[in-house]
């Protein structure tokens, strides 16, 4: 397993549509394992393949273990995911993105979604996700379509920056700020 480099918001690859995965096998499994490791190392809840420069329709997700949420504590690897049903009611929540470090925004999402996908071995799966997991799935599926969370923001007060106490070289804040301003 290896940690891959995560692309930042100004990278054009984040704006492209990912292609369906057609080949299932050890290479795809290795890619999914790398994505899980990269997501964990970055403390993310999800990571889509385009975020590491792979324009293929897959993402990984993991919610930290929370006794109150049976969806938590599990690794999800969803290949060729499609939202087939979504709740009419939308809920606002705060989102960040590993590709837009230090930036947060308030985004309205469906409260639950049913996602049809394949697992890493190509077996069809159908998952109903609600609450935070539904939010993560919608955010990651957006990535597969070249959409970033900032695209959903309509009011300037719904997006803000929280700088870490120690600015790290991994988070080129000024560059990202410029990119987000262009996007918003
Ligand atoms: Zn993201």
Please indicate whether residue 140 is annotated as part of the active site.
yes
How far is the centre of ligand 1, averaged over its atoms, from the C-alpha of 98 (Å)? 6
How far is the centre of ligand 1, averaged over its atoms, from the C-alpha of 1 (Å)? 21
Length of the chain measured in residues:
184
Q: Domains of the chain: which residue ranges?
A: 12-169
Point out which residues pair with 29 in neighbouring strands. Answer: none
pLDDT score for 184: 45
| Active-site residue, selected from the candidate residues 140, 157, 162, 181 | 140
Domain 12-169 -> CATH class: alpha beta
pLDDT score for 164: 79
**DSSP of 37-96, one letter per residue?**
HHHHHTT-SEEEGGGGT--BSEEEEEPPP-TT-TTTT-EEEEEEEEEEEE-S-EEEEEE-
pLDDT score for 30: 98
Q: Give alpha helix (H) positions in 100-146.
A: 131-144
Report the predicted TM-score, pTM, of the whole model to 2 decimal places: 0.89
Please write the tens of the pLDDT for every residue from 96-140: 999 999 999 999 999 999 999 999 999 999 999 999 999 999 999
How far is the centre of ligand 1, averaged over its atoms, from the C-alpha of 140 (Å)? 6
pLDDT score for 163: 86
Give the angle subtended at the CA of 74 by the CAs of 68 and 79, to the nearest 5°. Answer: 130
Point out which residues pair with 93 in neighbouring strands. Answer: 107
How far is the centre of ligand 1, averaged over its atoms, from the C-alpha of 59 (Å)? 10
Residue 81 has pLDDT above 60, yes or no: yes
How far is the centre of ligand 1, averaged over its atoms, from the C-alpha of 147 (Å)? 9
């Amino acid at each position: 397993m290896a940690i891959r480099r995560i692309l930042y918001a100004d990278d054009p690859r984040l704006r492209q549509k990912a292609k369906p995965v057609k080949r299932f096998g050890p290479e795809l499994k290795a890619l999914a394992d790398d994505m899980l490791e990269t997501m964990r190392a970055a403390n993310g809840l999800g990571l889509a393949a385009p975020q590491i420069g792979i324009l293929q329709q897959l993402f990984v997700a993991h919610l930290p273990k929370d006794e109150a949420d049976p969806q938590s504590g599990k690794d999800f690897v969803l290949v060729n995911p499609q939202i087939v049903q979504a709740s009419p009611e939308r809920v606002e929540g705060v989102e960040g993105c590993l590709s837009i470090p230090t930036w947060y925004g308030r985004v309205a999402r469906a409260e639950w979604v049913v996602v049809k996908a394949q697992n890493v071995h190509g077996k069809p799966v159908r998952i109903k996700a609600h609450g935070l997991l539904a939010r993560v799935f919608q955010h990651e599926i957006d990535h597969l379509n070249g959409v970033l969370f900032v695209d959903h923001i309509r009011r300037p007060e719904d997006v803000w920056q929280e700088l870490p106490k120690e600015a790290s070289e991994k988070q080129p804040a000024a560059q990202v700020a410029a990119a987000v301003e262009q996007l918003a």
